[in-house]
Amino acid sequence: MARPRSDDKRSAIMAAAIRVIAAQGLGAATATIAQEAGVSNGSLFTYFETKADLLNRLYVALKAEMAAAALDGLPTESDIRTQAFYMWSHWLRWATAYPEKRRTLVHLYVSDDITPESHQAASQTMAGVAKLLERSRAQGPMRDVPPAFVVALMNALADATTDFMIREPANAEQHCRAGFDAFWRMIA
């Protein structure tokens, strides 16, 4: 009879995958992830059918966590610019507070192992961010360009801003504000 699955072990495997992928990239062996999680390699496959399954679930979970951090406590009664800055600053604070998660998410985003279904599920977790972005650009110069292009530009600007916030923590707030100001001028 199979043992029941443990949420703690599943969480340990996901956390270990974040650490290992951040350090070694997507080529990291599942045995390394299992060892880091304190489980056998066979146990890893009790929780995830394949390495690709682990990567896809991790991708969706990280996108959901990032979206939740960006939108938690959003001041919905404020004007759109205030809401957009709130989302931006909380997103970047998440990225600077969890550099391993950010690095892992970057690896996963470009991975051929991430299925269209996982990209779709991740997009759904980001629906609140997407709606806010659409409202932000409704009257701006980017209103007629494909949303995916606007998101790609926003991600590139957010990555550059995050890098500077990490590199110069004493100026993190100024970098966050300057990055947002550039973003806002671009879309609104």
Is residue 56 assigned to a domain?
A: no
Backbone region of residue 3 per phi and psi (left: phi > 0; alpha: psi in -120 to 50; beta: other values): beta
Confirm whether 58 is domain-assigned: no
- Residue 1's pLDDT band, with cuts at 50, 70 and 90, is very low
User: Any idea what the CATH number is for the domain that residue 157 is in?
Assistant: 1.10.357.10
Task: Indicate whether 53 belongs to any domain.
Answer: no
Domain count, the chain: 2
| 42 and 105 co-located in one domain | no
pLDDT of 5 above 80: no
Residues 42, 84, single domain; the answer is no
Residue 77 lies inside a defined structural domain of this protein: yes
If asked whether residues 108 and 85 sit together in one domain, one would say yes
In a domain, 154, yes or no: yes
Q: Which of 12, 8, 124 is nearest to 63 (CA)?
A: 124
Domain co-membership, 36 together with 86? no
Task: Say if residue 96 is in the same domain as residue 38.
Answer: no
In contact, 40 and 34? CB cutoff 8 Å: yes
pTM above 0.85, yes or no: yes
Judge if 166 and 74 occupy the same domain. yes
66-97 burial by CB neighbour count: b if 16+ within 10 A, else e? Answer: bbebbbeebeeeeeeeebbbbbbbbbbbbbbe
Domain range for residue 129? 63-187
pLDDT in tens, 14-43: 999 999 999 999 999 999 999 999 999 889
Instruction: Output the CA torsion 44→46→52→53 (10° steps).
Output: -130
CATH number of the domain within which 37 lies = 1.10.10.60
**Residue 75 and residue 119 in one domain:** yes
33 and 69 fall within a common domain: no
Instruction: Please state, in angstroms and rounded to a whole number, the distance separating the CA atoms of residues 168 and 165.
Output: 5
pLDDT digit string, tens, across residues 159-170: 999 999 999 999
pLDDT in tens, 82-100: 999 999 999 999 999 999 9
Residues 158, 109 share a domain? yes
- Asked if the structure places residue 125 within a domain, the reply is yes
Same-domain status, 93 and 23: no
What integer is the mean pLDDT of 134-160?
Answer: 93
Q: Mark whether 87 and 148 lie in a shared domain.
A: yes
**Exposed, middle or buried, 47 (CB in 10 Å: 0-12/13-18/19+)?**
buried
Q: Are residues 2 and 70 in the same domain?
A: no
Please check whether residue 130 is in contact with residue 123, taking contact to mean a CB–CB distance below 8 angstroms: yes
The stretch 127-149 carries a mean pLDDT of 93
Enclosing H/E stretch for 19:
helix 7-24
Q: Is residue 146 part of a domain?
A: yes
**Cα–Cα nearest to 129, from 101, 157, 88, 159:** 88
Domain for residue 69, yes or no?
Answer: yes
